[in-house]
Structure 1
């Protein structure tokens, strides 16, 4: 059972127990996504996945070391997106977003091609149709603003950050990343 206070915006967030992170990862495993497959499709390291659930059988109520953005990402994969916004996506025209990028920007980590700085400027910045600024997104996901802006400027946005931005705009990252699912995963 995942506690409600782990399903909130970063400013009210309580870190999950290792058992709660393990529950999410076990749901993915039960649906054919073992650690090696998750590493390949998400770009998360196997070591980090293990660190976030360390000792869950002996100490299930130990606080996990999982960072907020990674927790948001894993929850999005199991059908619980946008905890940072009470489950609601930011209202944008998804077709405009999709037209701003090549199709390979909407693939799992092992096939993903990073959007260029020029492409990212089409949707992130004060003068864009989304009206989302780098500072807005950094605040929402608890990212370091300067580092995030630098990644945007260099077209070097990490896959996880890209997925969180897409999820925030209403894209289903579960369908984007877990392409072999028979049906949608939903965290109970």
Structure 2
């Protein structure tokens, strides 16, 4: 296991555990679930008892390799993982499409294209991503994480452009609900298509 995968599976996934629980509460029983930027597949593994199928896609081969080994070891055959750009995967329909702390890492156009794809391929979109932290520690932690992660410029642009609500507006969608996570500086946005008159 590479150091990057070890850090993700042993540290980041544990820190994000409260957020995963909040997302799973929003997932309907027996739903089909797409996770864009699934990383180690942690959300899909934690929701496996509740969903009828889960499909994780990520561009990082090491993360997908880890997820696939864990899937085989746990015999969760209703989950599947693909190393691919989500915009290049074969079109499919899901009940729910989700991403966690993924869209802020990308240039705005790519993030908007992914959000549009998620909206078009599902009945409900749940995006968990950064927003304004209330505490000084939360603000410093997010800034530091983004500095060492290598996508600080995209993160700063994400904040400047208005975060997920502005991305939703950009692709002709609407934020139906914002839920503040127990983790300071993260929100979950429930997004859908605008109802045409």
TM-score, scaled to structure 2: 0.28
TM-score, scaled to structure 1: 0.29
| Bigger relative CO (Cα 8 Å, ≥ 6 apart) | 1
Please identify which structure carries the higher strand content.
Answer: 2
